[in-house]
């Protein structure tokens, strides 16, 4: 049973609440409820985590919180998050009790709280050439930092420069290395090195943690002002995958996820047409005892990259949103509060949470081992 509060506020506060609610596209009631929930959670978190968290981190381009899941399981506490998509914000708030700040390009770096680790799965955009102006620039007149202006990586760089986290983790698609004939990746690494960070780069596959082939590039950096390039960091040893696609499937599935005769015929004809031309394009009917292709944000369109066979006389079906969550290693407790279309986009844009946790633990161990080493040398 829902209860109600009846409170009186002065005219100025009412005006401020109304303006802020409108800017978030929310009703005044929903905005006030959000503010109350956030304050209560903040109070509980601060009391429960004093002295218990190993580190603090911020979650940029947060999506629905896949990176946060991994870093929290590694012992961290999130002190700031940013995500502009309103549907992702809704999912994020429903699961973490925090409403992400909006567009990171509009948030001044000085407003972001201090943190030990910066985490960002930034989008890959074409990089502008040197000389393009941008508000809140890093104050550089030349060099690689200028070349990142006009891109979302610039916002990562300006925050790193201002807040000087001990370490960071950046995640992106595997082909970031080859984007624009390698120029993009060169600019990124040079920018991070100019900021005086020692970087470690590796392409890792999520299939070692979940039954999905999902290669992503990970860039880990440590502040050379602190660690002098001598941090004890290695990427995690990848475990042998034991899960199979059939292990993540729901027992009872709504018939709406089964492909229509028209769509199934289209996908088969499309695959045959490209096969005749020598191309590899086509649907992916998965081996239930194996792993799937990479789940993408376009999965909602036709589900073609990952189709579940249902026998000879029944058309294959798409994964359900819950199965997509499992394919990314999200816990069963993770709430799906948006439409199927938005859920497919959100999980397709997210990360393999157990892989992020494994990397987070390696970063944490590097920070801790250096601290122990430093204390021994002092004593």
Active site residues: 124
Beta strands in 46-180 (DSSP E): 55-60, 76-81, 117-120, 167-173
How many angstroms separate the CA atoms of 10 and 8, rounded? 7
Report strand pairing: 117-120 vs 55-60.
parallel
Measured in residues, the chain has a length of: 379
Q: Which strands, in side-by-side order, build the sheet including 215-223?
A: 76-81, 55-60, 117-120, 167-173, 215-223, 197-205
Which is nearest to 60 in space by CA: 1, 110, 136, 123? 123
- H or E segment and range at residue 249: none
**Cα angle 349-211-363, degrees, rounded to a multiple of 5:** 65
Q: CA separation (Å) from 372 to 61, 159, 227, 246, 362?
A: 33, 28, 12, 45, 15
DSSP-derived letter for residue 66 is H
Backbone angles phi, psi at 218, to 5 degrees: -125, 130
- H or E segment and range at residue 372: helix 353-378
Q: CA separation (Å) from 230 to 164, 367, 374?
A: 17, 11, 11
171 contacts 121 by C-beta, under 8 angstroms: yes
Q: Which tokens go with 103?
A: 């567009």
Backbone angles phi, psi at 221, to 5 degrees: -130, 150
């Amino acid at each position: 049973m829902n209860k109600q509060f009846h409170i009186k506020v002065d005219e100025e506060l009412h005006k401020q609440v109304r303006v802020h609610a409108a800017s978030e596209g929310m009703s005044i009631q929903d905005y006030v409820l959000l503010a109350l929930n956030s304050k209560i959670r903040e109070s509980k978190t601060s009391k429960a985590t004093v002295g218990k968290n190993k580190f603090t981190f911020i979650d940029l381009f947060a999506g629905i919180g896949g990176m946060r899941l991994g870093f929290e399981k590694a012992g961290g506490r999130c002190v700031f998050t940013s995500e502009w998509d309103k549907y992702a914000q809704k999912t994020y708030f429903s699961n973490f009790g925090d409403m992400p700040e909006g567009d990171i390009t509009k948030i001044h770096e000085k407003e972001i709280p201090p943190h030990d680790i910066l985490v960002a799965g930034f989008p890959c955009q074409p990089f502008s050439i040197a000389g393009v102006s941008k508000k809140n620039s890093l104050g550089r007149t030349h060099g690689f930092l200028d070349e990142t202006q006009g891109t979302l990586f610039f916002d990562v760089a300006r925050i790193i420069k201002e807040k000087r986290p001990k370490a960071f983790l950046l995640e992106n698609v595997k082909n970031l290395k080859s984007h624009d004939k390698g120029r993009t990746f060169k600019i990124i690494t040079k920018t991070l090195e100019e900021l005086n960070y020692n970087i470690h780069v590796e392409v890792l596959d999520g299939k070692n943690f979940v039954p999905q082939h999902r290669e992503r590039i990970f860039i880990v950096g440590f502040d050379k002002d602190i660690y002098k390039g001598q941090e004890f960091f290695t990427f995690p040893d990848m475990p042998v995958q034991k899960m199979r696609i059939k292990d993540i499937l729901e027992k009872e599935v709504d018939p709406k996820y089964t492909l229509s005769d028209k769509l199934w015929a289209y996908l088969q004809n499309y695959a045959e047409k490209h096969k005749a031309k020598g191309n590899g394009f086509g649907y992916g009917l998965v081996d239930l005892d194996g792993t799937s292709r990479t789940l993408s944000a376009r999965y909602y369109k036709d589900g073609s990259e990952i189709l579940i066979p249902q026998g000879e006389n029944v058309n294959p079906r798409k994964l359900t949103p819950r199965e997509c969550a499992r394919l990314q290693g999200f816990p069963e407790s993770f709430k799906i509060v948006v439409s199927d279309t938005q859920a497919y986009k959100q999980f397709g844009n997210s990360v393999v949470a157990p892989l992020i946790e494994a990397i987070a633990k390696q970063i944490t161990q590097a920070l801790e081992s250096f601290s122990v080493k430093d204390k021994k040398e002092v004593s």
